[in-house]
Amino acid sequence: MSRVKTESGAGASLRTGPSSWMVAPALAFFLIFAIVPLILAAVLSFTKWDGINPPAWTGLGNWTRTLSDPVTFQSLGLSFKVIIVSWLVQTPLSLLVGVFTAGRQRYRAVLAALYFLPLILSSAAIGIAFKALLDPNFGLSKAFGIPALAQDWLGNPQLVFYVVIFVIAWQFVPFHSLLYQAGTRQIPTSFYEAAELDGASRMQQFFHITLPQLRYTIVTSSTLMVVGSLTYFDVVYILTQGGPGYSTRLLPLDMYLTGFASSDMGDASVLAMLLVVIGLLLALGLTKLTGFSRMTSQQEGS
């Protein structure tokens, strides 16, 4: 394999890095199956394609049609609503669970191992299990015999959004609480000891030590959560297929259904581009806020 010269200045013979070709295989995979599709999605958004016959150029038609379709805005709005509401639900829960499991008590370690279980279930498994559990006739409602539980959880357009939020939280809070657990364990115990000496209550310690010390974890977790919200697909697809009506048709689901169920890949590609643009805007925030960009610059000193 040929070697690319990477010397810079004197003493380079010792300090030359490894061949740049070592990044080539990873880069190739990533370019071909992640970056090229992104570009191709942009191209396909200007074509009419049913998924079978060759795509035909149509210009801006898909864009004007899709961007004036109320369903698009319904999905877009719903996706933003999911981002906000699931952040509001998941962040405090993950924070509390994370701080709780960071404690050194043995029973908390056992609980933490159990809390983690949803992460090993596939989205398909979670969707199917909750579909059975939420069945108005044979599910949870029958188990407890509480009339208030006897709802058509997935069939009621007012309720279903919050049911989806709940199932998503059930799936993802374990991951985020892990982040908070790791973050909390990094806080020096001397902080708490000093606070104890000053007579700070547990509540005060939480708000004046734990919370401020976790600010970077909060930023990291939140950005991951926000970007991740754009990819909620599998669970929603299995639970509701976007229904009833359009009440849970999030943007990725709208794209999938438009493309693969209605054989309209052109319009679906426009929706895909919307996803990319929103995703990259959020990603920009991610790299800025979480210090990923700082991490790359740290390389200078290595």
Identified binder of another protein from the candidate list 89, 150, 282, 289, rule CB under 8 A:
282
Please give the residues from 15 up to 44 whose contact with another protein meets the rule CB under 8 A: 15-20, 22-23, 25-27, 29-30, 32-38, 40-41, 44
| Phi, psi torsion values for 48, nearest 5 degrees | -100, 125
Q: Which amino acid is residue 208, in one-letter code? A: H
Q: Is 202 in the site for another protein (CB under 8 A)?
A: yes
* Residues 217 to 256 in contact with another protein, rule: CB under 8 A: 220-221, 224, 227, 230-231, 233-234, 238, 252, 255-256
Strand ranges (E), the chain? 47-48, 56-57
State which residue, 166 or 246, has the beta carbon closest to another protein.
Answer: 166
- The answer to the question of residue 56 lying near another protein (CB under 8 A) is no
Residue from 57, 73, 207, 260 touching another protein (CB under 8 A): that is 260
Q: Rounded to whole angstroms, how far apart are CA atoms 191 and 170? A: 32
Q: Does 207 bind another protein (CB under 8 A)?
A: no
Does the footprint of another protein cover residue 116 (CB under 8 A)? Answer: yes
Q: Is 269 in the site for another protein (CB under 8 A)?
A: yes
Residues 6+ apart with CB under 8 A from 209: 187, 191, 192, 195
In the complex, least distance from residue 150 CB atom to another protein, rounded to whole angstroms: 13
Residues 168-197 that bind another protein (CB under 8 A): 170, 174-175, 178-179, 181-183, 185-186, 188-190, 193, 196-197
Q: Which candidate, 259, 261, 280, places its Cα nearest to that of 271? A: 259
**Complex with another protein: residue 26 or 70, whichever CB lies closer:** 26
Let me know: does 188 contact 209? Beta carbons within 8 Å.
Answer: no
Binding pattern to another protein, positions 86-105, x when CB under 8 A? -------x--xx--xx-x--
Does position 262 interact with another protein (CB under 8 A)? The reply is: no
* DSSP per-residue letters across 164-217: HHHHHHHHHHHHHHHHHHHHHHTS-HHHHHHHHHTT--HHHHIIIIIHHHTHHH
* Residue 289 binds to another protein (criterion: CB under 8 A): no
Per CB under 8 A, the list member of 56, 119, 211, 261 interacting with another protein is 119
The C-alpha angle with vertex 107 and arms to 104 and 113, in degrees rounded to 5, equals 90
CB 146 to another protein: min, Å: 12
Strand partners, 175: none
Quick one: which of 234, 240, 239, 277 has its CA closest to 256? 234
Binding another protein (rule: CB under 8 A), the pick from 67, 128, 150, 289 is: 128
